[in-house]
Structure 1
């Protein structure tokens, strides 16, 4: 529009009407996109998604993965496209941002197709769900929200299992008939000379009947194979026995396993005091940018604070699951990457990996760089389990995990014999206490703690 305004200043009498027409059309499109309120809308969206506190001069390449994801989402919202395709839109969002996005999606005037494992979002902002792993390997659309979907999906799975059992029983019965007919046919022997006439009279009809039975059984088997019912695949279920089998204490030392106090980062963010011992279950909450991920890195010893102290009991093994996966060798097969992590031969590593229920055998030879984000997250979990840690520090561990796997992870954390500290709103039911980091970049003192965590639905 500014370019057209400059062209108006220098346009002659013949050109000016054309420029004015072009300017009017552009103004109409600008108004249709609510351009006059763009700056106000941008401030609203950036505030809602926790981006207002980012320095305007910071380069995109210097943003964290979560910040880049929120920035991409903000730009998408501001463009107001006629249709939306969203991939895990609530990953890296705090409670307030996730609630805001759900409300925005409910009023969005166009169609939206999203991939999400966020049950709160699926229960509040969708009108239907598509199961890509539906009965008999087909994609199936279900009306309604997540609660209705789970009930109908379970019923469809039961119908599929019933059909498969019936098909299997019919196939087994047909094969049994064919086997009996074959045995009977082999039992007929040629007659002795003295009984040839008698044999001919009795055997010809019986042999014909056996042949008909065999043909009928073979035809039935052919028809059953032509209209076979595939076996319902066993769902991936996280069997994290290694977590429950992990050592409950370190070999030496007394007092807390992890203790941090008066810590401050190089960026000036004051972190809350933390004590982890026994079977503590702690969830860290706070707005985006408050330093939740930084706190986990400091506690893990990966990011030393600029002030304060962090103490680990001697011999402590801490497993830190970061928000983003990092694999140095992207061309390396999944199995080899896991085997090197757990220092095991590939045969042993394959047995361990398949035993966790996170992968199928055909996944093991896939290069790490070709894995989906969800598969990479599952590989992170597998590596963590086999480290047999004393303490778990989990940064949004359920991102990109299917809802059944999230439930399995919750159960595994319930049984883990050491402390668990996590930044993940979907795991609050395992929390014994809550650390609220308050405002982003806050320099306030210690955290507010409550006896138990609360989900968004509880508030």
Structure 2
């Protein structure tokens, strides 16, 4: 075996990060992050876009050094970053060979030691025992079979001669993920592994992660995967003291803990604001009395005037000290979606609608007041096309669309439009918003006047949702609404959809959201 080979530590494996700090351009990315991963433990990492989730995985993997803090690793680990780039003429087989190189080397060393035993070479028995131990630790005999099984289950490319450059981003990711699942590492570090998987792949990944003896650190926005897999959640979103929060009892424990944390945060912030307002008023009163006493009425005793002035000065300074001691030090709690009151009298009808090459099977439907509809179907079946027809963005080739002239429709497409130099506030005003942008709880005040192109993907998605709500629509058309949204916002949106009086038509592959709307009427297109 090569001297650089690190054998799996199995039960003795441990991956520990302590007080990790990283800043970029003076702006903190990670502050005080800490976790201890042991065999069989499964950590979920959550947070808004840009909160340092991928950065934390890179630190754990050793591909990025923190500014401060320590990481200790005992055992082997595999990292699946969000993308696997194609370089040169690299093939699927090259990726597999690289991942299984230690297992292959162990088997070669075992064969060489066995041959030496037959020749009675000095030291052959010790070399054989060492090679056998390495092969057993790596479970080397079954390594290729495990990878092949994972490739098949994930729908990944199985032709080992196929160049990576010929595969899509998702295709390359599936190859990399299959290699890691089959390699038998002590630790698996996975960054958004559900992004490129279909239903079968999701089921296999969930089963593989819940059944593995490896320690898992999983960055994901997929609530269903987190609920099924994670035993502990680390939340990198802002907190009262700026430090990450760790929640036990899996995803359910995280939801309960986060809700309690934010309630305490809001209560403490409100108390500080109230006390600050009281002390500010007291200070203003003391200042007014002080100014008045510097200008006493004529004839007032000079000694009495000086005494009163001295007393007012002391009171004024005491009020200043009290205000300074009780300044609002707590940051403002995070945004929370506040869906405005929407009208209920939706009315839209499609009769035998088709779109050539995109929606071949005729669709007839009616959406009435406060109606609900889940549009289902495989990729490419025409779900997005149907929503675009309902929105009036696409004219059908056959059939008719009938909608009241006064009907307001809010349409959220799958992806954000190309960002430009306009600000969120400008775009909202141009949309004829009849609600207050700040009141929706979707964008921070500091983001409202920044060019949209400077916002992250997740923040632009929040703006898209704000523009949909701008004119209080009668009908909400939502195409994959959870794309790029944080878990917290997805939960808030799901709750809001359940309570709104507006009609809602929804297309989604999000397993948790599908479960949430399981009681809605369903229309399957492209059967």
Change (3 A) 1:259 1:104: same
Tell me which residue corresponds to 1:102: 206
Instruction: Give the 3-state SS of the residue equivalent to 1:147 in structure 2.
Output: helix
Equivalent runs, 1:205-354 vs 2, <5 Å: 205-225=307-327, 228-235=329-336, 237=337, 239=339, 248-249=347-348, 255-256=351-352, 258-259=353-354, 273=361, 275-279=363-367, 281-284=373-376, 291-296=378-383, 311=398, 313=400, 321-322=413-414, 325=415, 332-333=420-421, 335=422, 348=430
- Unaligned 5+ segments in structure 2 are 1-103, 113-120, 390-395, 404-408
* 1:321/1:17 CA distance change after superposition, 3 Å: farther
Structure (1 or 2) with the larger CA radius of gyration: 1
Taking the TM superposition and a 5 Å limit, the aligned residue runs for 1:6-405 are 29-51=134-156, 60-61=164-165, 63=167, 66-131=170-235, 132-188=237-293, 189=295, 199-225=301-327, 228-235=329-336, 237=337, 239=339, 248-249=347-348, 255-256=351-352, 258-259=353-354, 273=361, 275-279=363-367, 281-284=373-376, 291-296=378-383, 311=398, 313=400, 321-322=413-414, 325=415, 332-333=420-421, 335=422, 348=430, 357-363=441-447, 365=450, 368=453, 371-378=455-462, 381=465, 392=477, 394=479, 396-405=480-489
- Tell me the alpha carbon deviations over residues 246-282 of structure 1, each in whole angstroms, 9 at most, x when there is no partner: 97437xxx724x347xx989xxxxx994624112623
Return the offset for 1:216.
Answer: 0.9
Whether the 8 Å CA contact 2:412–2:481 is kept in 1: the answer is: no
1:217 CA drift (Å): 0.9
Q: Give the 3 Å change call, closer, same or farther, for CA 165–320 of structure 1 in structure 2.
A: closer
**Aligned residue pairs, count:** 395
The answer as to whether partners of 1:86 and 1:114 remain within 8 angstroms in 2 is yes
Which runs of 5 or more structure 1 residues have no equivalent in the other structure?
Answer: 9-15, 266-270, 286-290, 303-308, 438-445, 448-459
Instruction: Summarize the Cα distance change of 1:376–1:158 in structure 2 as closer, same or farther, 3 Å threshold.
Output: closer
Q: Distance in 2 between matches of 1:163 and 1:59?
A: 57
Correspondence 1:430 to 2:509:
no
TM-score normalised to structure 1 length? 0.65
> What CA distance in whole angstroms lies between the structure 2 residues aligned with 1:57 and 1:383?
48
Looking at secondary structure, tell me which structure has more helix per residue: 1
Q: CA deviation at 1:38?
A: 2.2
Q: Which 4+ runs in 1 deviate beyond 6 A?
A: 2-5, 16-27, 54-58, 244-247, 315-318, 350-353, 383-391
Q: As a proportion of its length, which structure holds more strand?
A: 2
Please tell me whether the aligned partners of residues 259 and 276 of structure 1 are also in contact (alpha carbons under 8 angstroms): no
Is the alpha carbon distance of 1:139 and 1:67 closer, same or farther for their aligned partners in structure 2, counting shifts above 3 Å? same
Aligned residue number for residue 457 of structure 1: none
Give the 3 Å change call, closer, same or farther, for CA 393–173 of structure 1 in structure 2: closer
SS of the equivalent of 2:208 reads: helix
The CA deviation at 1:116 is 2.5
